[in-house]
Amino acid sequence: MKQQYVYFFGGGMAQGRADMNNLLGGKGANIAEMVNLGLPVPPGFTLTTELCNEFNKRNREYPKSLEKEVEVNLRRLEELAKKKFGDPVDPLLVSVRSGARASMPGMMETVLNVGLTEGTIPGMIAKTQNPRFVYDAYRRLIAMYSDVVMEKAEGIEPEDGDSIRNQLEHMLEAVKKKNGYVNDTELSENDLKELCAAYKVKVKEVLGAEFPDDPMKQLWGAIGAVFLSWNGKRAVAYRRIENLPDDWGTAVNVQAMVFGNTGDKSATGVAFTRNPATGDNNLYGEWLINAQGEDVVAGIRTPYAINKLAKTDANKDLPTLEEAMPKLYQDLMDIREKLETHYRDMQDLEFTIEDNVLYMLQTRVGKRNGPAAIKMAVDMAKSGLIDKDTALKRVKPEQVEELLHPMVDPEAEKLAEKLGKGLPAGPGGAIGKIVLTADKAMELGEQGKRVILVREETSPEDVHGMKPAQAILTSKGGMTSHAALVARGWGKCCIVGCSAMEIDTKAKTVTFGDKVLKEGDWITMNGTKGVIYEGQLDLVEVDPLSHKEYRTLMTWADKVRTLKIRTNADTPEDAAAAVAFGAQGIGLTRTEHMFFGDRIWAMREMIMAEDIEGRKAALRKLLPMQRQDFTGIFKAMGNRPVTIRLLDPPLHEFLPHDDEAQKEMASRLNTTERRIAAKAESLTEFNPMLGHRGCRLGTIYPEITAMQARAIFEAAADCWAEDIKVKPEVMVPLVGTVGEFENQKAIIDQQAAKVMDEKGITFKYMVGTMIEIPRACLIADQIAQQAEFFSFGTNDLTQLTFGYSRDDAGTFLPHYLESKILAHDPFQSVDQTGVGELMKIGTERGRTTRPKLKIGICGEHGGDPKSVWFCNSIGLDYVSCSPYRVPIARLAAAHAALANGHSVE
């Protein structure tokens, strides 16, 4: 059997189907489907993606059989259209459009009005009684064809270097200027007729070839140009960015032209079967009378609303399609019903009305925002259109995020002046006045003023100013810098690493390129995208719990998922917020943040102590504070498990490094500046990330571990006394050898026994470890003999597995991502090949010695959907993420469970 390269559609029947997407492209397959559904579609035929690949492989040669196949299909098209291609009396015109598997908007070429020639123009004029329309169509054909087919596809180089497209455009502008026209619509029939003639002369002059006057030559030229555009510069670049394969190829759709611009009984429009911004179950869209499709999109004329519900401020006084063409509107409503029932999803439609006849030009699954996606999915599941599993799959985890933070109004964003771009470290939108110090941020923030803290980078000493700020913006640091970590924990808008921004703290200015802003100037930040704007843009506020369908979807997600979701929370407030978002426990409480503020003085006293007795005295001051911290968190979490990590950062982080602050410290601790400077110096490390921190501190200073363990157990005992049955899980950080863990566990167990004895209360607790050192994964079987749980600290594990410092990787990581040396940022999504392999090894080996070992993840990756999926696939028990990512993780976990064959019902 000869291979079929051409698939016909029209007359109520098509050779293709929607599921032939790969062969016919998205557009072609869906047109075929619409035809089979009996919808009014202009007839035509699709040349397959296989043909595209053949053509490009054979160096622009078609298979021999093709000419005949096109001929046969063209004849069939003529029969249905009741017009003949190239007929001087009533000529058929066709559009030649690309259509790949996935939408690649604007990346490939289109040629319209193919078939207009000196020979067919008179017939067209006679038939339409509209010579201006015909010459306008001819002008567009010449311009498009000479550009797309002659210059680009056939590779004819223009004479004087400027493209034929620009040169023709200049001619058009010259005519308009000469006549004092502003819009193209003012061009008269005669202007256009003369322009067409002049265009053809110019084409000959510039490209050295005639614009073809043969309809078939035009057709073949257009088909070839579309196929070639698959390998055009823009298309290739787009595929690189979107990770699309080169061997897909594009299909070509040749279709009878219909015109929405033949007069007042004609129109064109785009519509969504449901509102893509809210999810409401109403037809939504825009249309224009007497216009072409591109006019709706181009924004030259204000499009009309399709019905009352779709009206906006801009078009509230303009006629709707429902009012202007009620019969055709009803037809469209029927089609909407038919398509949604058939596709079981919201559709994005293109239609044209030519002389009171409705034609469907395209249907495809419509894009939608997060809240709309959720509402549609739940509505459709409730109405029985889809099942609950499908509803869950319809919503991307990232879309849930849109419900959790106020967003910059997308419309306002389009018009706003972009100041700069950084890494999107904390999602949502924020508006505020620039402030350059944490103190000022706190001062103004407490007065209820909206401020954005702008710094080179932040440190734990800035936290008091970060909390009241609307957002945080830094010029240095990466996705896991201090600012990013803290902001994400709070669900606060944050952009980091905006390297083009320069801060002058003396002059109190912030410079973006040429633009100089002062402290106090307003800026707006889109933390989801990482973009900074000048001035105040509108924010769209959201509240997930008021979104009824969100609540429903989440119950379904919880029903199907097997992975537990915990949260990373360091305060009772964060813990309570996370519980409200559905957290089932705490996977990581960092204790170091508890030693700043006033408590830093006891901490510094401990660091400066000459001996163990001095350290113990300082630690005794910290004990009641720590106990209070833990009691608060335990109470917020009730009976849920709470994992508390022992002190992790190197001690020098608690000492001041500038003279002024060292002076203050000296006077406060009654010692000399010299001693403090010497201590700070002695604690300085070449590579602090690889230095004296984590359990290496607790091993050298066992009294710190003892104090923290005692505080945890005293708090637990107090809770149990109040009948709050807390289950503390004490986590030893940075374990790389069994000896370290044994050493720390002995201290912790001893404190537990002492506290239980003192308080006369028994309670359960666990001692486990953070797995964040590559070696720990390799010896996980040994560690698991002692440790009752593991929690993967994927931030540090990623740093060590790659040998990247997250604070320094900015020098090469962006380049690695851009040049695809890295497929994605391993600090955002778990590197499954490397880091993930170590996690797998750690999980497998850990469970060889302790089969029921509880294993979770508490790195930043715990809130990343792809990483959640991966964690589920390697058999972890839970993921832990910042409170504001808990819903995202819940949905991602549900997706993973669905993929594993689980079902909501």
Give least dist CB 245 to a copy of itself, A. 17
Active-site residue 482, yes or no?
yes
Phi, psi of 351 (to 5 degrees): -140, 160
Residue 536 within binding range of a copy of itself, rule CB under 8 A: no
* CA distance readout (Å), 419 to 489, 772, 852: 26, 38, 53
Q: How far is the CB of 645 from a copy of itself (least distance, A)?
A: 16
Burial code (b: 16+ CB inside 10 Å, e: under 16) for 299-313 equals: eeeebbbbbeebeee
The phi, psi pair for 758, rounded to 5°, reads: -60, -40
3-state SS, 493-527, equals EEEECCCCEEEECCCCEEEECCEEEECCCEEEEEC
347: part of which helix (H) or strand (E)?
strand 347-354
Sort strands 509-512 and 501-504 into parallel, antiparallel or unpaired.
Answer: antiparallel
Residue 510: what are its φ and ψ, rounded to 5°? -130, 125
CB of 425 to a copy of itself, least distance (A): 17
Question: Considering the complex, what minimum distance in angstroms separates the CB of residue 655 from a copy of itself?
Answer: 15
Please report which helix (H) or strand (E) contains residue 371, including its range.
Answer: helix 370-382
How close are the terminal C-alpha atoms of the chain, in Å? 47
* 243 lines the binding site for a copy of itself (CB under 8 A): no
The response to whether 645 counts as a known ligand-binding position is yes
767 contacts a copy of itself (rule: CB under 8 A):
no
Which of 739, 764, 899, 900 is close enough to bind a copy of itself by CB under 8 A?
739
Q: Round to whole Å and give the CA distance between 783 and 693.
A: 19
Residue 660 marked ligand-binding: no
* Residue 802 binds a copy of itself (CB under 8 A): yes
Indicate whether 572 belongs to the interface with a copy of itself (CB under 8 A): no
Indicate whether 705 belongs to the interface with a copy of itself (CB under 8 A): no
Considering 494, 695, 719, 858, which one is annotated as catalytic?
858
DSSP bridge partners of 364? 348
Determine the 3-state secondary structure of 870 from DSSP: helix
Interface size with a copy of itself, residues (CB under 8 A): 49
What is the rounded CA–CA span in Å between residue 712 and residue 165?
Answer: 74
Stretch that binds a copy of itself, among 157-165, 625-633, 794-802, 875-883 (CB under 8 A): 794-802
Does the annotation place 345 within a ligand binding site?
Answer: no
Q: Is 90 a residue that touches a copy of itself (CB under 8 A)?
A: no
Phi/psi region, residue 263 (left: phi>0; alpha: psi -120 to 50; beta: rest), is left
Minimal distance in Å, beta carbon 510 to a copy of itself? 19
Structure tokens that stand for 296 in this block: 């709706």
The verdict on 480 binding a copy of itself (CB under 8 A) reads: no
The active-site residue, picked from 196, 405, 482, 498, is 482
Contact between 731 and a copy of itself per CB under 8 A: no
The one segment of 243-251, 421-429, 804-812, 856-864 that binds a copy of itself by CB under 8 A? 804-812
**858: annotated active-site residue:** yes
Q: Which is nearer to a copy of itself, 546 or 819 (CB)?
A: 819
Residues of this chain, 837-866, that bind a copy of itself according to CB under 8 A:
837-838
Tell which one of 33, 570, 831, 877 touches a copy of itself (CB under 8 A): 831
601 or 816: whose CB is closer to a copy of itself?
Answer: 816
Please state, in angstroms and rounded to a whole number, the distance separating the CA atoms of residues 463 and 477.
16
132 CB burial (10 A radius; 0-12, 13-18, 19+): middle
**743 near a copy of itself (CB under 8 A):** yes
For residue 684, the minimal CB distance to a copy of itself (Å) is: 9
Sequence-ordered alpha helix ranges (H) in 243-325: 293-298, 321-324
- The answer to whether 794 is a known ligand-binding residue is yes
Q: Is 834 in the site for a copy of itself (CB under 8 A)?
A: yes
Q: How far is the CB of 284 from a copy of itself (least distance, A)?
A: 44
Least spacing, CB of residue 681 vs a copy of itself, in Å = 12
Contact status: 824 vs a copy of itself (CB under 8 A): no
CA angle 390, 391, 396 (to 5 degrees): 100
Cα(632)–Cα(715) distance, integer angstroms: 9
Give me the phi and psi of 471, to 5 degrees please.
-160, 170
Tell me: is residue 590 an annotated ligand-binding position: yes
Is residue 795 a contact residue for a copy of itself (CB under 8 A)? no
If the CB atoms of residues 346 and 773 are measured against a copy of itself, the closer one turns out to be: 773
Catalytic residue numbers? 482, 858
Residues annotated within a binding site: 590, 645, 772, 793-796
| Chain residues that interact with a copy of itself, rule: CB under 8 A | 685-692, 696, 699-700, 734, 736-737, 739-740, 743, 772-775, 778-779, 782, 796, 799-805, 807-809, 811-812, 815-816, 819-822, 831, 833-835, 837-838
